[in-house]
């Protein structure tokens, strides 16, 4: 069969594609125990990853959705662990409320301090971020070390995040960092296991910004 002669591309509007994708997700996800607001986040995570297992593994602190919406509406800073997260976030929705997105991992002072201490830039970036983003949203999708450091800072009273979206991906410390996050009594969105990443972290945050506009 010559696919060059049988395939016919169809022009469809992006909104229609998204609507159809969400319809498929709704049909295939099956039973779940998420609230409507939590499911809005789950739905976008699945849409971004095409991974139902990942979506179903999401864990929400009881105040996570409320805290995220409140932080966005209050114009709190969003801290991303890496540029990939920063780039994907819908900044227009945040800017509507005076919010902005920051990533510190490539700052000169962070790189110099990490070298001096012989530690990772992700760790030093979190130490800097907590001083500049009190009450903000921390969106971590790449570096488990960043999440573990943020957890340590919270436990020691040096950090007061409004919400932690902790969805780092990987084989070293990713699952463990999320297990530790789930033990904290601060608002969080995380998941069980190794899966995660910048794309799904962005999806979770963008879902919250959409909820902030709607409610």
Is 102 labeled as catalytic in the residue annotation? Answer: no
Q: Indicate which residue of 32, 47, 61, 102 is catalytic.
A: 47
DSSP one-letter string for the chain? --HHHH-------HHHHHHHHHHHHHHHS------HHHHHHHHHHHHHH--HHHHHTEEE-TTHHHHHHHHHHTT--EEESSHHHHHHS-HHHHHTTT--EEE-TT-HHHHHHHHHHTS-HHHHHHHHHHHH-TT-EEEESS-HHHHHHHHHHHHTTS---SEEEE---SSSSHHHHHHHHTTSSS-EEEESSS---HHHHHHHHHHHHHHHHH-
Active site residues: 47
């Amino acid at each position: 069969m010559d696919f060059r002669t049988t395939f016919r591309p169809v022009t469809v509007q992006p909104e229609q594609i998204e609507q159809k994708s969400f319809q498929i997700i709704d049909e295939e996800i099956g039973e779940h125990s998420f609230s409507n607001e939590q499911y809005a986040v789950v739905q976008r995570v699945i849409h971004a990853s095409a991974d139902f297992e990942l979506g179903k593994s999401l864990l929400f602190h009881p105040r996570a959705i409320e805290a995220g919406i409140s932080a966005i509406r209050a114009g709190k800073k969003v801290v991303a662990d890496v540029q990939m997260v920063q780039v994907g976030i819908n900044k227009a929705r945040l800017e509507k409320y005076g919010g902005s997105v920051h990533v510190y991992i490539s700052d000169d002072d962070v790189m110099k301090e990490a070298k001096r201490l012989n530690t990772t830039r992700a760790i030093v970036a979190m130490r800097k971020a907590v001083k500049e983003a009190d009450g903000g949203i921390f969106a971590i999708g790449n570096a488990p070390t960043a999440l573990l450091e943020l957890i340590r800072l919270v436990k020691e009273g040096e950090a007061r995040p409004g919400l932690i979206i902790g969805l780092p991906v990987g084989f070293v410390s990713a699952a463990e960092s999320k297990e530790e996050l789930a033990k904290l009594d601060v608002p969080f969105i995380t998941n069980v296991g190794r899966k995660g990443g910048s794309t799904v972290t962005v999806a979770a945050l963008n879902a919250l910004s959409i909820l902030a506009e709607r409610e």
